[in-house]
Amino acid sequence: MSNPVIRCRIAPSPSGFLHIGTAKTALYNWLFARSQGGTFILRLEDTDADRTEEQYVEAMCEGIKWLGIDWDEGPQFGDEPAKGAFGPYRQSERRQLYRQEAARLLAEGKAYKCFCSKEELDVQRDLAAREKRPPRYSGKCRNLTQEEITAKGDAPYAIRFRVPEGETVVDDIIQGAVRFNNKEYDDFIIVKPNGDAVFHLAVVVDDGLMKISHVIRGDDHLTNAGRHVMLFNALGYPLPQFAHTPLVHDEQGKKFSKRLHGANILDWRADGYLPETMINYIALLGWTSEEEGREFFSLDDLKRLFTLKRLTKSPARFDRKKLDWLNGQHIRMLTPEQLFYRVLPIMQAHGLQVADRSREWLVSIVAICQEKIPTLNHIIPFTDFFFRQVTAYDEKGRQKYFQKPESLLWLQTALSALESTDAWCHDALKEAYEQAAAGTDIKIGMLVNTTRLALTGKTVGPGLYELTELLGRDEALARMKHALTFVESSGEFTT
């Protein structure tokens, strides 16, 4: 028997940015399709004209593309042409299909016209609220005769699905068999009076006609799944396999609000996180590897290892510390050349005069930071002193290294060590400092930290010998003498 054709989709509503939860859904569908040699489809649920704007379409697709998630079928986006044999891939361009399928349900008696006005329905809802029960449609139009329908003439009507008796079972890969008593549902609207399909009908028609094999989505849709299974059966489409994943929670254990920084996936790009990191971290927000305790995964690893069976039921809490650690690990995996091209736009945006320097030198200064920076944005405080004169010194560092009785001695000893260095390279500089420390009983850490403050104005940065070598002899000696003059003139020594 041949393996079934795997067809997965992400169908966001472009009414805002790409939420981290939507990114997770997209990622799981994409990884499953790629791991199984299947097809991944991008579809836009843009029928709500009041909430859909092209800027949101672009923002959402930009987020998906930044993550590196590509699609095999989907609508036109930027320089990506529309592609696929099951289009169009925007719901706004599929209205006729929904009307045709709704008409079929009417003809087969599986749906009916509802002429109840908004005012009538509001009265029913108000009564239900007063009686403290869920609002349910009364069924007034469920059994209208053809004569009664004809008598309505051109009166506006919605189309309601005729919920069958019995039980609906959703066989879910993650949640197991979820049973719904059909009595829990009233006859729900599938087409509005203006002729537009409601979400429930549109999503089922799209999934059915696009031959979607697996519906992987957030478990906030689990209650909708009962309606959708009923519609699949009524329309005669093969049932896809469902997998409802837990939502992403914030660090306080609550649903990740759209108002929080980081809810927009592109916030992380702005904050200097790699797309490889976000793919890795988002994958862990509901999936575990068979290798217990493993957390670092490359994209190729995930494509190879991802399975739906390893998806978890419990919601994952966002952990910023783990994300930072993972980002550092992915930064270390880049070559210095690759890292340079990632940080170059950031350096340019912050006004660093990179155009005046050679690419080889720029790659070198990036390379000495690679083991230390947790995000791409940290390249600025770790390298800006290469491009700008030191005009101020870190306050805590100044108190610790420039305002002690021994501060002048530390600076003078470090300056002498630099001046005595013949070969201006890492190893020679290191040897000079070790000899200076041994010959004066000054701890080498004091010499190193005092020099770092003098050369960079900071107490944290890349390795001292590496940065000193790249700064150059003349510039390094000039900055040491400037710091020495500063300490001598300040006279603010403490005991």
328 lies in some domain: no
Q: State residue 77's pLDDT score.
A: 84
Q: How confident is the model at residue 168 (pLDDT cuts 50, 70, 90)?
A: very high
Indicate if 239 and 112 belong to the same structural domain: yes
1 lies in some domain: no
For residue 2, the 8-state DSSP code is: P
Mean pLDDT of the 111-116 span: 95
Q: State residue 492's pLDDT score.
A: 55
Q: CA-to-CA distance for 191 and 200, rounded, in angstroms? A: 9
Indicate if 260 and 236 belong to the same structural domain: no
Indicate if 382 and 417 belong to the same structural domain: no
Q: State residue 82's pLDDT score.
A: 94
Indicate if 211 and 255 belong to the same structural domain: no
Mean pLDDT of the 441-445 span: 92
83 lies in some domain: no
Comparing CA positions, the residue from 354, 356, 386, 369 lying closest to residue 457 is 386
Indicate if 121 and 224 belong to the same structural domain: yes
Residue 132 scores a pLDDT above 60: yes
Name which of 6-15, 45-54, 259-268, 292-301 the model is least confident about. Answer: 45-54
Comparing CA positions, the residue from 297, 270, 261, 267 lying closest to residue 282 is 297
Indicate if 231 and 255 belong to the same structural domain: no
35 lies in some domain: yes
CATH code for position 25? 3.40.50.620
Residue 261 scores a pLDDT above 80: yes
**Is 258 tagged catalytic?**
yes
Mean pLDDT of the 192-214 span: 96
Indicate if 277 and 313 belong to the same structural domain: yes
Cα 127 to Cα 106, 134, 135, 296, 300, distances in angstroms: 29, 10, 8, 55, 57
Indicate if 69 and 199 belong to the same structural domain: no
Q: CA-to-CA distance for 130 and 121, rounded, in angstroms? A: 14
Summarize pLDDT for 235-253 with one digit per residue, the tens: 999 999 999 999 999 888 8
Q: State residue 491's pLDDT score.
A: 64
269 lies in some domain: yes
How many other C-beta atoms are found inside a 10 Å radius of the C-beta of residue 356? 7
Q: CA-to-CA distance for 146 and 149, rounded, in angstroms? A: 5
277 lies in some domain: yes
What percentage of the chain has pLDDT greater than the value 70? 98
Q: How confident is the model at residue 124 (pLDDT cuts 50, 70, 90)?
A: confident
Tell me the β-bridge partners of 214: 241
CATH code for position 409? 1.10.10.350
Indicate if 429 and 477 belong to the same structural domain: yes
What's the structural domain count of the chain? 4
Q: State residue 1's pLDDT score.
A: 37
Indicate if 303 and 446 belong to the same structural domain: no
329 lies in some domain: no
Indicate if 302 and 241 belong to the same structural domain: no
420 lies in some domain: yes
- DSSP state string for 40-55: EEE-B----TTT--HH
Summarize pLDDT for 463-474 with one digit per residue, the tens: 999 999 999 999
pTM more than 0.95: no
Indicate if 132 and 239 belong to the same structural domain: yes
Summarize pLDDT for 374-400 with one digit per residue, the tens: 999 999 999 999 999 999 999 999 999
Q: Which of 118, 152, 255, 258 is catalytic?
A: 258
> The domain containing residue 114 runs over which residues?
94-245
Cα 289 to Cα 296, 303, 305, 357, 473, distances in angstroms: 10, 12, 7, 45, 51
Residue 495 scores a pLDDT above 70: no
